[in-house]
Amino acid sequence: MAASFDIANAEEFLKARGLGCGPYQVKKLAGGYWNDVLKVSNPSGTYVVKCYRAVLKDSLFPNLPEAEAAALQRLSGLGVAPEPFAFWPDDGILVYSYVEGDVWRDDLVGMANLLRRKEAADAHGFRVVPFTAEDILAEGDALFARCTTDRLVTAFQNGRPTAFSTPIPERLSLIHTDIGATNLIGHGDGLRLVDWQCPAMGDLAEDIYSFLSPAFQILNLCQPLSEVDRAHFFDALDMPSVNQRYRALEKAFAYRMAGYCCLRYQTVGESDIAVRDRYIRAAEAELERIHA
């Protein structure tokens, strides 16, 4: 991970590594919970420069610079993610094309089509994440075990979904694992999925869960999707077997995500009350999905 990289030294760093001549325009981008992200423009183009930081130990969402660089290479040309430009692993710096457009709001068809395009990518070589209800719930148990017992933690432990046998997916996909609205930029065929720092080989149902999850929507400062929105999305996706797996696994995914949210609101620190409250609301929303 990079020790120091900010607007003040970005131009010097990028010039030294051949990212074109100046003048440079550098702007800090908002939205991420962990990494520092800059928008850099010069006569040769406009780029995103990502500086990786350490994340919560044993996080559900690890920060994997090499894996993100590999994922962007694997997805290049598919109309799914930004195009990669440069990666300096020793510095913890990744550069990729800047995606013009607004943060995702309500383009359910565009999102369904993006996921279908993503299925063309080869997932081999990435970390493999759990895709059975039993293993997903076990990850949730491990997260709750790290939490201090309180009202919400007790409610989840008392209402833990029951594990059941889950068939292996028809295929394992290259999945993003963290599809919040702020990681989706653009509209229609131009919609792109950014921030691939925790990619994996896993079940497409997991990516669908992260997109539809009320917790992910709340953490990205959006309103949870309605049942009508969900139905519209699955109609556009038109993948019945994946829809079936999602519905079978949703409560297990919700339990695991709730464990992450509970651990985060207990460890985020009293200095950031707004973020702490957001994680509490996200956990409460997942509790409602489990009991629905």
User: Are 148 and 173 within one domain?
Assistant: yes
User: Are 286 and 205 within one domain?
Assistant: yes
C-alpha–C-alpha distance, residues 250 and 210, integer Å = 10
The predicted-structure confidence for 77-97, as pLDDT tens digits, reads as follows 999 999 999 999 988 899 999
Residue 111, pLDDT score: 98
Residue 26, pLDDT score: 85
Residue 272, pLDDT score: 85
Q: Report if residue 135 sits inside a domain.
A: yes
For position 30, which CATH number holds? 3.30.200.20
User: Are 24 and 161 within one domain?
Assistant: no
Number of neighbouring beta carbons within 10 Å of residue 131: 23
- 48, 72, 97 — which closes off a domain? 97
pLDDT at 170 over 70: yes
Q: Under a CB-based contact definition with an 8 Å cutoff, are residues 30 and 2 in contact?
A: no
Q: Report if residue 192 sits inside a domain.
A: yes
SS3 of 27, please?
A: strand
Q: Report if residue 44 sits inside a domain.
A: yes
- 52, 68, 97 — which closes off a domain? 97
Residue 240, pLDDT score: 94
User: Are 13 and 148 within one domain?
Assistant: no
Residue 1, pLDDT score: 47
User: Are 246 and 177 within one domain?
Assistant: yes
C-alpha–C-alpha distance, residues 171 and 125, integer Å = 14
What is the domain extent for residue 239?
108-291
For position 201, which CATH number holds? 3.90.1200.10
Ranges 43-52, 112-121, 122-131, 139-148: which has the least confidence: 43-52
User: Are 204 and 259 within one domain?
Assistant: yes
User: Are 34 and 147 within one domain?
Assistant: no
Q: Report if residue 257 sits inside a domain.
A: yes
Q: Report if residue 284 sits inside a domain.
A: yes
Count up the domains in the chain and report the number: 2
Q: Report if residue 102 sits inside a domain.
A: no
Alpha carbon distances (Å) from 268 to 22, 68, 98, 164, 258: 39, 25, 30, 33, 15
pLDDT at 113 over 80: yes
SS3 of 61, please?
A: coil
User: Are 59 and 167 within one domain?
Assistant: no
User: Are 48 and 23 within one domain?
Assistant: yes
Number of neighbouring beta carbons within 10 Å of residue 46: 13
- pTM assigned to the model: 0.91
Q: Report if residue 2 sits inside a domain.
A: no
User: Are 145 and 277 within one domain?
Assistant: yes
- 35, 67, 97 — which closes off a domain? 97
User: Are 190 and 250 within one domain?
Assistant: yes
User: Are 133 and 79 within one domain?
Assistant: no
C-alpha–C-alpha distance, residues 272 and 33, integer Å = 12
Q: Report if residue 103 sits inside a domain.
A: no
Phi-psi category of residue 58: left, alpha or beta, with phi > 0 → left and psi -120 to 50 → alpha? left
